[in-house]
Amino acid sequence: MHYKKLLNRIYYFKKCVRKSSRQCLFHNVLIQSESKGCIINGKRIAEEIQNELKCSITEWLTKHPRKPSLVAVLVGEDPASVKYVEKKMEAAQSVGIDSRTENLPNTITESQLIGKINELNNDPAVDGILVQLPVPKHISERNICNAVDPLKDVDGFHFSNAGKLCLNMNAFVPCTVLAVIELIKRTGVETFGKHVVVCGRSKNIGLPLSILLHSDARNELPGLEATVTLCHRNTPPEQLEMFTKMADIVISATGVVHLIKGHMIKEGACVIDVGINRIQTPEGKVKLVGDVDFDSVVKVAKHVTPVPGGVGPVTVAMLMKNTYLAAINHFR
């Protein structure tokens, strides 16, 4: 009898230690807000991932003849695209990946662009290729994504990578999808059997994300074992609200400013904002905002990602991870 009590005590003690160390573990990636909710620090998580990668790459370099390498293809001079590509180049530099940008004119034809991509496909010194989207209107985005060698497709946009993802086979997963999963995991939010609502059905984010969220964890590509509801532009607003109110996790990737408001969220839920929208402030300045009305959501949610400083920086970090994986694969 005493023995059993003692065992129970030990079990309880172990449980407490586990719980408190888990809290410590995740504490550094969260910022306490003035409301109840915590703000997930995407910048911090991105730094964490990049530091881990830097260590792995340094170790990998002792056994391999060159650094992993990434080429970004940038068509035209859209200021947002230029800025994002710059961020990717900076990140590459900081983790020890060789990188360069191929700047091409807006007037380039589809077949000329595919020709350039083929050159990079055939260059053994290039591990990862990324064609910054959007491409000019006269070029088919699908044809361009399909032109990249699937083994160098660090964006995961080639049809064979998209198809493999659906079948739980090892494949390149789009960086933003990986970023959302990493943010959830590193915040310590449980997904097994939980209800996740994804807003947005894009082929590059909403769709692949909802597939990994519901998939089996015991596969080549591990899934998160959640119950998933995928909402999109044809979901009536009152239905959307009904679904999000039931959700343990809400992820929005729609490009609709302030689509997700506090009254639509269940107390204690986790809200991930994938939106990046540029709006004019009343003072005439340009401001970056997400799909989530942050001020009202942070009052009810337990965790919420900000924009900027949430999913964006982690997306860049995951691109570095995919490039490293491409290099490992190249030398295997």
Ligand X SMILES: Nc1nc(=O)c2c([nH]1)NC[C@@H]1CN(c3ccc(C(=O)N[C@@H](CCC(=O)O)C(=O)O)cc3)C=[N+]21
Which residues does the annotation mark as catalytic?
88, 132, 155
Sole binder of ligand X in the list 197, 276, 292, 320 (CB under 6 A): 276
Per-residue binding string, ligand X, 159-188, x by CB under 6 A, is: ----------------x-------------
The verdict on 309 binding ligand X (CB under 6 A) reads yes
| b/e per residue 139-167 (b: at least 16 CB within 10 A) | bebeebbbbbebbbbbbbbbeebbebbee
Per-residue binding string, ligand X, 28-67, x by CB under 6 A, is: ----------------------------------------
The verdict on 84 binding ligand X (CB under 6 A) reads yes
Taking Cα atoms as reference points, which of 278, 263, 271, 282 lies closest to residue 308? 278
The verdict on 82 binding ligand X (CB under 6 A) reads no
Query: Based on C-alpha coordinates, what's the Rg of the chain?
Result: 21
Sole binder of ligand X in the list 68, 156, 275, 312 (CB under 6 A): 312
Sole binder of ligand X in the list 246, 288, 325, 328 (CB under 6 A): 288
The verdict on 256 binding ligand X (CB under 6 A) reads no
Q: In this structure, what are the phi and psi dihedrals at residue 227, rounded to the nearest 5 degrees?
A: -90, 125
Residues 6+ apart with CB under 8 A from 168: 215, 216, 219, 220, 221, 223
The verdict on 117 binding ligand X (CB under 6 A) reads no
For 230, the token pair is 């995928």
Tell me how far apart the alpha carbons of residues 71 and 57 are, in angstroms, rounded to a whole number: 18
Of 19-27, 93-101, 261-269, 310-318, which segment contacts ligand X by CB under 6 A? Answer: 310-318
Tell me how far apart the alpha carbons of residues 295 and 209 are, in angstroms, rounded to a whole number: 26
Q: Which residues bind ligand X (CB under 6 A)?
A: 83-84, 87, 130-133, 155, 175, 276, 288, 307-309, 312-313, 315-316
